[in-house]
Amino acid sequence: MEVAEAPSVFFEGADFEQTDVFKFSLDNGQADFFGKGQVPGTILNQFSMDEANGYFQIATTTGEVWQDGENASKNHVYVLGVNMVLVGRLDNIAPGERIYATRFMGDRLYMVTFRQVDPFFVIDLKDPTHPAVLGALKIPGYSQYLHP
């Protein structure tokens, strides 16, 4: 089996945390390795990633909430193809905030970020190569879990 190598650098010269993603197939107790992908940033929890229609989707945060400028926190959505190679991305969502809750449902991602208020985002993943923010709503309160 031939496995495509994922690119190791997304931002030239950038110093950032990254998340490595490994793809396996399980069949009758046998695990087969299919590939590895990398995305900038860290994930919040298991709800920050999903697989749909052969694509792996993941939401991450880079930077720090208490920093300003280039080191400020930013949130991103990445879509990896069958071989775990980047095919789509949506960068710099809610700069200065971090992800507090995410939920993938169908071809949508619902995401809440936080610093002072909880912005709620609806992100369209219908075209995996061009994720897009459909809308955002700033709501008072505190959200840490989204349930369908």
Give me the CATH number covering residue 43.
2.40.128
Question: Residue 8: pLDDT above 60?
Answer: no
Kindly indicate the confidence band of residue 15, based on its pLDDT and cuts at 50, 70 and 90.
Answer: low
42 against 8, higher pLDDT: 42
Is 27 within a domain? yes
Q: How far apart are CA 127 and CA 120, in angstroms?
A: 21
Q: What is the pLDDT of residue 142?
A: 62
Question: Residue 2: pLDDT above 80?
Answer: no
Query: Mean pLDDT across the stretch 32-59?
Result: 95
Is 85 within a domain? yes
Is 5 within a domain? no
Query: Mean pLDDT across the stretch 12-22?
Result: 75
Q: How far apart are CA 104 and CA 82, in angstroms?
A: 18
Task: Kindly calculate the radius of gyration of the chain based on its CA atoms and give it in whole angstroms.
Answer: 16
Q: How far apart are CA 15 and CA 102, in angstroms?
A: 25
Q: How far apart are the first and last CA of the chain?
A: 38
List the single range of 1-5, 118-122, 128-132 with lowest mean pLDDT: 1-5
Is 94 within a domain? yes
Q: How far apart are CA 35 and CA 83, in angstroms?
A: 6
Tally of domains in the chain: 1
Which residues are bridge partners to 64 per DSSP? 72
Which domain, by its residues, includes 105? 18-139
Helices (H) and strands (E) in the chain, counts: 0, 10
Is 132 within a domain? yes
Quick: pLDDT tens for 63-116.
988 888 888 999 999 999 999 999 999 999 999 999 999 999 999 999 998 876
Q: What is the pLDDT of residue 5?
A: 46
Q: How far apart are CA 15 and CA 72, in angstroms?
A: 13
Is 3 within a domain? no
Asked whether the beta carbons of 41 and 95 are under 8 A apart, the reply is no
